[in-house]
Every structure is written in structure tokens, then in C-alpha cells.
Amino acid sequence: MIIRARAISRGKGSGLLLVSPSPITFLSGVDPDTGVLVETGHPLEGCSIAGTVLAFDFGKGSTVGSYVIYALHRNGNAPAALINTSADPIVAVGAIIGGIPLVDQPEISIHRLQSGVMVTVDGTAGSIDYQGELLPEKS
């Protein structure tokens, strides 16, 4: 299934989808040396984002988060691609300088997508190739 989205950061990236039920802060929330989400109390605390297609509503926190995203790339621990409901400038800049494909505003809510499904994000064309079943809409 091809899901249309808005292109933000060019390129293509594929990997297993990891959907976050909560926004993500990259400064002090993700360890750039390991790619592990370390934010205390976050639903994905302890999960590695390295090599995944990471979907989350939006980023939160300091502007230094852009550099953390770049550092994840530099250290080989970046996600293969990012999907946001609404990309904020911190995540967008981090993805662009880190060469990580990013799309936002998908035509289907990210919360209808299942973690663990193979996905390809095309940040140039603005599309998500989703290989799984959709979850039911939440009321």
C-alpha cells in the first residue's frame, strides 16, 4: 500500500516500522552513541531506533535535538527514515543534515500503522510503502 505524505528530507530509507505512541525528545531522550531511547517513562524506553523507520507525532525539546539526530547518523545509529504526523523544525533540520529521509502529514494516521512491518519511506516523492494491515481507527 502506498500512503501519500509531504516530503521533507530527500532520499529513501527502508526498515521495520517502530511507531511511538508519544512524541520524542532527542536531547537527553535518545543516546546518540547507541541509538537507544533513554527517556525515563517513555513508552519506547530501552528500544533501539537504529535502522528502523521511526514514526512519531512530533519532536519535543531543545533545538540541540537536531544535532543529536545528526550524531545518530554520524555514529551509525540513526533510523533509516522518519515519519511524523507534523514535523517540527528540530526534527526536520536534524533529518536534513543527517541525510535521513523524512515525510509528514501522511494521509493515514501513523497510529493505524503496525510496528514490525517492513516500510520504505521516499522523502523525495513524499510516500510511504507500507507492507502490512492497518489497525482500526481509534474513536
Q: Is 62 a catalytic residue?
A: yes
Q: Which residue has the cell 525528545?
A: 25
Among residues 14, 28, 48, 62, which one is catalytic? 62
Cα–Cα distance measured from residue 83 to residue 53, given in angstroms and rounded to the nearest whole number: 7
CB-neighbour burial class of residue 121 (10 A; exposed 0-12, middle 13-18, buried 19+)? buried
Active site residues: 62
